[in-house]
Structure 1
Amino acid sequence: MDLMFFAHRSHLAHVDTELAKQNLGRAHHRVVYFLGRHPEISVSELLDVLSVTKQSLGRVMRDLMDRGLVSGRVGERDRRQKLLSLTDKGRALENALFEHLRSNMANAYQAAGETAVTGYWIVMQQLMRAEAREQFRRLHSRQ
């Protein structure tokens, strides 16, 4: 547990600093991350993935939309559905925030080697509840 705590804290330190400069926090970070990885995700899917209330997500989304980082459009098949994406400005923020994280992960993977990385993926998936593993699989099957 200590390893996870200190690794997580260190891994996100740069992102936390950059977010703070813009008066943004971890909730904004999570939304920007998932919209960057899954453009045109529906509000309901995002609520499900983040496991937050509609009210909580609403505050963060209003902030991101007011800043011109996120846009939403009505679904083509279901007009009740709202599909969310990053704007060009949002993608620039996502790239700036996650460039460091991607580099950090790549360095760690390279230092650990293929066998350790495979083991890491197994450990991480086994730490997830069954419904989280299913969400993970669903999200990654769309890519």
Structure 2
Amino acid sequence: MPTTSGPNPLFLREEELRQAMEMLFVAQRDVAAQADPVLDRHGLGRAHHRVLAFVAREPGITVTALLDRLKVTKQSLSRVLSELSEGGYVEQGRGLRDRRQRTLKLTEAGAALERELSERQRALIARAYREAGAEAVEGFRRVLLGLMSEGDRARFGEREGAGRAGTARGR
């Protein structure tokens, strides 16, 4: 009986699914840990990093939209935003169409901190992408999209060729 190497065609078995869940937890832990020394130096936590990352990706995001993206309580986000504002990392403004909306953007110090926080994470992900190759990266992207809610999936654009270098991000 010849042996074949490659992916297990029985990938939906209980053990394969449990292993995938464990691998997601471990990978998320290790990616997040890349920023911990910088966060510690600034007296901040991972919640602060998530806010900085989302605001960096979408300058002018409203507090309401950020709440929706992060799926946290208003009280929790309010505490983190207050600390980031007091630290000079985030500034709040008013919406252009609706003056009641609060918009967020990073200050120069906030942008510099966000770059420093994500630098090692980007390097880790880039190394993993290089090792896996383009086809695996696109497959990984499809798996991640499949794990997301409909609303989040739509934000990342489920379209032909999405995620490849040089394509615009869907909103």
Normalising by structure 2, we get a TM-score of: 0.77
Out of 70, 74, 80, which is 2:94 matched to? 74
State the shift of 1:136 in Å.
Answer: 3.7
Out of 14, 32, 39, which is 2:34 matched to? 14
| Native 8 Å contact 2:91 2:106 kept in 1 | yes
What residue in structure 2 maps to residue 64 of structure 1? 84
Give the counterpart letter for 1:134 in structure 2.
Answer: A
Give the counterpart letter for 2:170 in structure 1.
Answer: S
Give the counterpart letter for 2:40 in structure 1.
Answer: A
For structure 2, which runs of at least 5 residues remain unmatched after alignment? 1-20, 158-168
Give the counterpart letter for 2:55 in structure 1.
Answer: L
What residue in structure 1 maps to residue 109 of structure 2? 89
State the structure with more CA Rg: 2
What residue in structure 2 maps to residue 141 of structure 1? 170
| Higher relative contact order (CA closer than 8 Å, sequence separation 6+) | 1
| Native 8 Å contact 1:49 1:135 kept in 2 | no
What's the CA shift string for 1:66-97, capped at 9, x where partnerless?
00000011112111111100000000000101
RMSD: 1.5
Percent identity for Structure 1 against Structure 2:
46
Structure with the higher fraction of residues in helix conformation: 1
Tell me the matched-pair count: 141
State the shift of 1:129 in Å.
Answer: 2.2
Normalising by structure 1, we get a TM-score of: 0.92
